[in-house]
Structure 1
Amino acid sequence: MSDGRTPAQIEADIARRRQDLAATLDEISLRVSPSTLVGEAKARTKGAVDRTAGQAFVVANRAVTSARGVLVAPDGAPRLERIVPVAVAAVAVAGLLAVGSRRPKKTRGRRRGR
């Protein structure tokens, strides 16, 4: 069952395969090390936060642009016929909230001595 290799060639193949195996094990241990896993988790989290922040910025920017289009004329002048009702509604809501927060809360009185 000779494949035509000399004992020296077989020993060299074994040594090479041991080195390859050692390099593979080193790479595996690096990939599963806690510091590597934590670093990868941080990178994934940062990417998700960046994407979410970017999406929130786009939504906010659209809302501001939409509100500007409704409340400001193309020449840049404020549209008072639209601003005044919005301002009145905002003041009314703020007033209702202020009045509602000033009402004394009803508490149940406890009788002592029972």
Structure 2
Amino acid sequence: MSTAHNGPRAEDIGKPPLRPTDPAGPPDLTPEPADDASPEDIESDIARTRRELANTVSELSRKLDPTAQAQHQVEDIASRVRGQAEHAGQAAQSSISRARDAATGEDGRPSPTAWITLGAGVGILAGLVAIGALRAR
């Protein structure tokens, strides 16, 4: 059975605190130099701190670059538009299939309803043409 432990561990008491290298990344487990550290240890720590700082600045510059942000937004929008277009295409294909199924019988030939609808459409079109011809005189 494990229990949550919120306080310092006994083996960590008296040790210097650990510093993270990147707020978003894993912590650097290298402790601060001790009070009695040699000049070489201190110089090494300063060099490491400078590298960490340079990495952090580079990462922040990359994240805050307006061109990179704009490119990311363009890619995001293009991806959404592609998804919507694909969905619209699938919906149109489904509608065409349903219309074809409604207009044909089981044998694949046009159903009587399709013939009646076609005839009514032709009749209405002929009537409109005739009315237009009579008005043109």
How far has the Cα of 1:75 moved from its partner?
2.6
State the partner residue of 1:13. Answer: 45
**1:43 maps to 2:65:** no
Identity %: 28
**1:34 maps to 2:66:** yes
State the partner residue of 1:54. Answer: 86
How far has the Cα of 1:23 moved from its partner?
1.1
More helix by share: 1
State the partner residue of 2:108. Answer: 76
Report 1 or 2 for greater relative contact order, CA contacts < 8 Å, sequence distance ≥ 6. 2
How far has the Cα of 1:87 moved from its partner?
2.4
Aligned residues: 101
C-alpha distance in structure 2 between counterparts of 1:20 and 1:58, whole Å: 51
C-alpha distance in structure 2 between counterparts of 1:39 and 1:7, whole Å: 47
Residues 51, 15 of structure 1: alpha-carbon distance in 2 compared, 3 angstrom cutoff: same
Residues 33, 90 of structure 1: alpha-carbon distance in 2 compared, 3 angstrom cutoff: farther
TM-score (norm 2): 0.60
**1:23 maps to 2:55:** yes
How far has the Cα of 1:38 moved from its partner?
1.1
TM-score (norm 1): 0.71
Unaligned runs of 5+ in 1: 100-114
Unaligned runs of 5+ in 2: 1-33, 131-137
C-alpha distance in structure 1 between counterparts of 2:48 and 2:117, whole Å: 79
SS at match of 1:74: coil
Q: Give 2:62's aligned amino acid.
A: L
Residues 70, 15 of structure 1: alpha-carbon distance in 2 compared, 3 angstrom cutoff: same
State the partner residue of 1:87. Answer: 118
C-alpha distance after superposition, 1:57-97 (max 9, x if no partner): 12111111111110112332121x12123324544676798
C-alpha distance in structure 2 between counterparts of 1:93 and 1:6, whole Å: 100
SS at match of 1:77: coil
C-alpha distance in structure 2 between counterparts of 1:65 and 1:55, whole Å: 15
